[in-house]
A and B are shown apart, each in its own frame.
Chain A
Amino acid sequence: MATTYEAIATVTVGSGGAATFGFTSIPATYTDLLVVASLRSDRASNSIDNGWIYLNSDTSSGNYTKRRVWGDGSAVYSATTYDLDYYCPGSTATASTFGNLYYYIPNYAGSNNKSFSVDSSQENNATIAINNLTAGLWSSSSAITSITFDLNNGNFVQYSSATLYGIKNS
């Protein structure tokens, strides 16, 4: 049976924390990319943080089109404009708990615009706990060679980690 998933690289945040983290020099030898991450923020006095994922260091909001739906345990919300990609726990969320994130990019090395999807859970043993789904499009003909995770408010805490997988269709 063909090995379709291959771990390309893993990054784990050290004791000093990190404002952002990411992968560079991603090879163009796969069909799709998948990032599986375990994240927590040090955002003060808040159980929730959220952030963005940038491709090829492109932080221009006009190049990303997104549709997002999220629920917090009591209601469901949606947004259709430039917006956040994911949620994770902040400093007051259940101690030592990390949020889950799956980030999928099909056909990342082609010349067409790149679609992506993000599934993230804040993870919090409380009344409010957020699950978020984002579907997006990055308008660029460039192959994706780098992925950067950025937080809205805090820094990634120690032991936050992410593994980048390359996926082949055969």
Chain B
Amino acid sequence: MPTKLVVDCSTGAVEEIELTAEEIAEMELAAQQAEEQKARDEEEKAAKEAARAEILAKLGLTAEEAAVLLG
């Protein structure tokens, strides 16, 4: 069973407590949200790169040539 380590600042006492089912569920939810966010970020990044490549193709420029133009 996963545990949490807690120090009570008023007493200095350190306690090792087993996580409750609710706490484990919260941790799993947070991990899932992070994965979903990561997927959204990657999707957004890929969409931006695709849009950039499309514009360069329309202009007939390479990425290096566009970089030179933008200085």
Contacts and interface: CB of A to CB of B under 8 A. Distances in A.
A binds B: yes
Interface string B33-53: 110010001000000000000
Contact of A21 (B6, B23, B31): B6
A128 interface: no
18 contacts: A8-B9, A11-B14, A18-B2, A18-B4, A18-B16, A20-B19, A22-B5, A22-B7, A24-B8, A27-B10, A59-B26, A59-B29, A59-B30, A79-B37, A79-B41, A82-B33, A156-B5, A164-B9
Q: Nearest 7 pairs between A and B by C-beta?
A: A19-B2, A21-B5, A25-B10, A20-B4, A18-B5, A11-B7, A9-B7
Contact of B37 (A11, A18, A83): A83
A24 B9 contact: yes
Interface centre among A11, A21, A50 (most CB of B within 10 A): A21
